[in-house]
Amino acid sequence: MVNASQHAPGQRAHVIFQSLSENDTHCVQFSYFLYSRDGHSPGTLGVYVRVNGGPLGSAVWNMTGSHGRQWHQAELAVSTFWPNEYQVLFEALISPDRRGYMGLDDILLLSYPCAKAPHFSRLGDVEVNAGQNASFQCMAAGRAAEAERFLLQRQSGALVPAAGVRHISHRRFLATFPLAAVSRAEQDLYRCVSQAPRGAGVSNFAELIVKEPPTPIAPPQLLRAGPTYLIIQLNTNSIIGDGPIVRKEIEYRMARGPWAEVHAVSLQTYKLWHLDPDTEYEISVLLTRPGDGGTGRPGPPLLSRTKCAEPMRAPKGLAFAEILARQLTLQWEPLGYNVTRCHTYTVSLCYYYTLGSSHNQTVRECVKMERGVNRYTIKNLLPYRDVHVRLVLSNPEGRKEGKEVTFQTDEDVPGGIAAESLTFTPLEDMIFLKWEEPQEPNGLITQYEISYQSIESSDPAVNVPGPRRTISKLRNETYHVFSNLHPGTTYLFSVRARTGKGFGQAALTEITTNISAPSFDYADMPAPLGESENTITVLLRPAQGRGAPISVYQVIVEEDRPRRLRREPGGQDCFPVPLTFEAALARGLMHYFGAELAASSLPEAMPFTVGDNQTYRGFWNPPLEPRKAYLIYFQAASHLKGETRLNCIRIARKAACKESKRPLEVSQRSEEMGLILGICAGGLAVLILLLGAIIVIIRKGRDRYAYSYYPKPVNMTKATVNYRQEKTHMMSAVDRSFTDQSTLQEDERLGLSFMDAPGYSPRGDQRSIGVTEASSLLGGSPRRPCGRKGSPYHTGQLHPAVRVADLLQHINQMKTAEGYGFKQEYESFFEGWDATKKKDKLKGGRQEPVPAYDRHRVKLHPMLGDPSADYINANYIDIRINRE
């Protein structure tokens, strides 16, 4: 009995049984008393069952509160069997109220089951793998009331309520106690407890055995790695956990991957197939012991990476994003692991292009791209140039090259034309200019633009700088002929090319045209101002310089001999080498320089006397011989930078002896010429009548005298044709042909006098032949009587041209003319006359008649009168006509 008021709260009082060991269920019966006047609980009365001297644990039965002033009976069914022993302990615990009484009496140990408390069958051990659910099932027999509580009590004192109680019969029931995911910490002794106010039942302790699944201590070992496989050794000699090991497995996953795969292994080595190249894998070994959840945790992982595999293919989709003249932006498809098959890879963009037309000048370059970059800009390219690009994907195991793609950069303005490529040929009034395409066309050349401007000239008549002119040429025309230029003038040329983007830089060059020969203003040829036996006075007109000023004037005197192709006035053959009279005499030449005049001395037209016996700048102007005919030329020379241009013109002719010096005006028209021809024709008709009488007399003596050459057929000789291409020269040739008629009458008189005097010696007076060499430049002509009127058609002179088709008509007119038969070149008769005199000597001095034939020179012009025809020089045919 315990009086609670006499003790402090929390104090305990124990009644302890001795240790008991039985083979069957024991029943402990006892009476208890709990009372307080004011109804408060004096404390708690509890019963404990200690097994094998173990911990006291939790009370298997307890009661608290005030139950009136009476005793109550309760029973304790203990199912602890031998060889285990147990000990029962009663405890009174003072409550804080400290009022009332607690009592215990009539404690009995019965050898049969309790009538009020159910007893449990033997409880067996439970073995389970760690992490698995464990379950205790307590089978009880006896009377079970709804108010009873079924608990699973741990030896350490923890209580677990029953998950459910299932009645098997009216006196048997089954209480189930599940333990979820048990671990090693929950391994202990457990027993079943039923509690009710009328009593309690307690079973024996059963052990909860928790087994730890096995786990390898060390990770597996890598034996060999490939692009798609790994060969490992399990390395399971040392483990953590409980055996026995009934199964081994390999668990592998990609590092940081979401999935895992398990392969059962029967050997110590294993080869993992179908792995991804260049991928890191975690490989662990799983060991399994018997029972559910017997597979242990994966062992330490092996981190290993497969090798790279050769790339699947080269990058695709290479295309341009932007094309400019000097840069190219390219892009291609993003590359994934399925293409690269390696996380360590490089993408190189390789390109090449040619600098010029030669493939030896090729720029090649490869650029490595950064990881994940699929766009790149190629800079510093050349415009309008093909750029060949390809992509190369490479990793440690191989490389793949993409297909070459060609892109063309855009056009740009062309580069400048090289100045050294400008070649030119200057003429007097034209320049031929040629150039080459720019070394950097930078596109398709569409045209060339040439600008030129006069910037300097030696001719004061040329205005400099002149207007700027521009010419456009097609792309395939890299040359041009510039005409209508000024002689002796420097022009600045600029040549530039154009593409669709505009003009490029221009190439500049300066070109100077050649100077031209001076020009004379002798369109209206004046008659000589005066003439004597030894002199002739002419009018010298200043020449006009063309490209260069006149440097010097020269007067040239040329002896006019028969049977010589005379120099045409204004012809190209001038007198480039100055010859004094003495030098010409020593060399046997027919011309000499009679005077040289400074350009400043002839500001305007002035007279000049040829043969005035004066010296002009070192050139002697000797008197002319009366018996000789002379041609007077006026020559102008221009000198500039080592270049000399000459022009000469015949300004007068001095006939021998007292020949008529009245020139035929250039302005005479065809009507005047026809009148002269008519007069000559009438004179020839009268002369023919006289000749007819002479011929009759000669024919009578033909039988007596025979000549091997009589009669002779007509003989014709045609002169060589020399074409001229400049119209000015052609027109001057025609003009000069009219001018030469001023000497017709004198030559005709010579022919008539010769025919009238058959005994006349062509060698003339010996005294005339003996004239000093100083007065006869190239031998003098025999002195002939002057002043007789003759035919207007003098042999060797330039007459109005006669067409070939009109030649017969012209001959017929000559036959009826008064002077027919006397228009011969008298030099040809000298030979015949000498031959006759020799024959006279051989035959004893007997006189023989002269062969009767005439010689006539006719000037021909095949296309006279046709303004579209090209004129030729005056040509002649010599006609020898039998008089009969």
Whether 735 and 833 map to the same domain: the answer is yes
Residue ranges making up the domain that contains 802: 670-762+788-882
**Domain end position, chosen among 408, 434, 465:** 408
Whether 335 and 380 map to the same domain: the answer is yes
Mean pLDDT of 46-59: 91
CATH number at residue 250: 2.60.40.10
Extract the tokens encoding 203: 């079973």
Residue 543 reports pLDDT greater than 50: yes
Residue 816 reports pLDDT greater than 90: no
How high is the pLDDT of residue 665?
39
- Of 132-146, 299-313, 405-419, 822-836, the one with minimum mean pLDDT is 822-836
Contact 837, 699 (CB under 8 A): no
Instruction: Report strand pairing: 319-323 vs 302-305.
Output: unpaired
Whether 278 and 181 map to the same domain: the answer is no
**Domain end position, chosen among 158, 188, 211:** 211
Whether 279 and 393 map to the same domain: the answer is no
Report the SS3 class of residue 704. Answer: coil
The backbone torsions φ and ψ at residue 713, rounded to the nearest 5 degrees and listed phi first, read -75, 165
Whether 151 and 196 map to the same domain: the answer is yes
pLDDT in tens, 215-256: 999 999 999 999 999 999 999 989 999 989 999 999 999 988
pLDDT in tens, 822-869: 344 333 333 443 433 444 443 444 444 444 444 455 544 444 434 433
pLDDT in tens, 17-31: 999 888 888 899 999
Whether 504 and 529 map to the same domain: the answer is no
pTM of the model: 0.46
- Looking at the structure of the chain, the number of domains it has is 6
Whether 113 and 72 map to the same domain: the answer is yes
Mean pLDDT of 387-391: 95
**Domain end position, chosen among 193, 211, 229:** 211
Q: What does the radius of gyration of the chain's CA atoms come to, in whole angstroms?
A: 76
Whether 472 and 587 map to the same domain: the answer is no
Contact 884, 695 (CB under 8 A): yes
Whether 137 and 270 map to the same domain: the answer is no
Extract the tokens encoding 634: 């006026």
Residue 872 reports pLDDT greater than 60: no
Residue 161 reports pLDDT greater than 70: yes
Measured between alpha carbons, how far is 126 from 864 in angstroms, rounded to an integer? 151
pLDDT in tens, 271-326: 999 999 999 999 999 999 998 889 999 999 999 999 999 999 999 999 999 999 99
Whether 120 and 84 map to the same domain: the answer is yes
Report the SS3 class of residue 814. Answer: helix
Neighbouring C-alpha atoms within 13 Å toward the C-beta of 756: 12
Whether 44 and 146 map to the same domain: the answer is yes
Is 610 a member of any domain?
yes
CATH number at residue 533: 2.60.40
- Of 355-359, 388-392, 395-399, 781-785, the one with minimum mean pLDDT is 781-785
Chain mean position to CA 149? 101
If one counts every other C-beta atom within 10 angstroms of the C-beta of residue 540, the result is 20
Whether 641 and 744 map to the same domain: the answer is no
CATH number at residue 112: 2.60.120.200
Is 314 a member of any domain?
no
Is 310 a member of any domain?
no
Is 768 a member of any domain?
no
